[in-house]
Amino acid sequence: MLIPHDLMYTPQHEWVKITGEVARVGITDYAQDALGDVVFVGVPTVGSAVAADESFTEVESTKSVSDIYAPVAGVITAVNEVLATQPELLNKDPYGAGWICEITLQGTAPTLMDAKAYEALLAG
């Protein structure tokens, strides 16, 4: 299971890379593996405000439909439009080409897990 050490994580299996005031968001390798073959990604709307821990889109796989939760509060400022036609990128490259959106941060800093804490969560 790949868990990059330069990212932050949520208990719902989203990853976050914060650069300045912008957080790039996706799902973890663990999440994509648990979902199975992803067949649809609901690309969120640019300009939408999201609250931390609020569902802002969903991913459909051959096994189930899963909500994706905002790891931070803010406004969606960019989306990965490629996922609309290539949802399998979430399986192939969850930490790279499979990113979902970017959120410009608003409010207080989020409480996120580092890689070690996320590994401990997965170890149960």
For 80, the token pair is 């990965």
Separation of alpha carbons 95 and 57, rounded Å: 18
Tokens 């300009």 belong to 47
Task: Classify domain 16-108 at the CATH topology level.
Answer: OB fold (Dihydrolipoamide Acetyltransferase, E2P) (2.40.50)
Mean model confidence pLDDT for the chain: 94
Beta-bridge partner residues of 79: 101
Closest C-alpha among 98, 82, 101 to residue 90: 98
Note the pTM of the prediction, 2 decimals: 0.93
Separation of alpha carbons 59 and 12, rounded Å: 13
Convert the pLDDT of each residue in 31-73 to its tens digit. 999 999 999 999 899 999 999 999 999 999 998 999 999 999 9
Task: Classify the C-alpha dihedral 78-83-89-90 as positive or negative.
Answer: positive
pLDDT confidence of residue 25: 97
For 70, the token pair is 């905002």
Q: Where are the domains of the chain?
A: 16-108
Tokens 């300045």 belong to 20
